[in-house]
Amino acid sequence: MTVHLRTMTLDDLPAVMVLEEELFAPDTWTRAMYRDELSRRDTRHYLVAEDDAEDERAIVGYAGLIAYDDEAHVATIGVAAAAQGKGIGSLLLDALLAEADRRSPVVLLEVRADNEVAQGLYRRRGFAEIGRRRGYYQPSGTDAVVMKRERPAGATHVREML
Q: How far apart are CA 162 and CA 157, in angstroms?
A: 9
Looking at domain 3-154, what is its CATH homologous superfamily?
Answer: Gcn5-related N-acetyltransferase (GNAT) (3.40.630.30)
The structural domains of the chain, with segments of one domain joined by +, span: 3-154
End-to-end CA distance of the chain: 40
State the pLDDT at residue 154.
62
pLDDT value at 72 more than 90: yes
State the pLDDT at residue 55.
62
- Sequence letter at residue 98: A
> What confidence tens digit (pLDDT) does each residue in 17-47 have?
999 999 999 989 999 999 999 999 999 999 9
Mean pLDDT, range 100-115, rounded to an integer: 95
Give the relative orientation of helices 31-38 and 13-24 as an angle to the nearest 10 degrees. Answer: 130
State the pLDDT at residue 1.
72
Q: Are 76 and 67 in contact (CB under 8 A)?
A: no
Mean per-residue pLDDT of the chain: 91
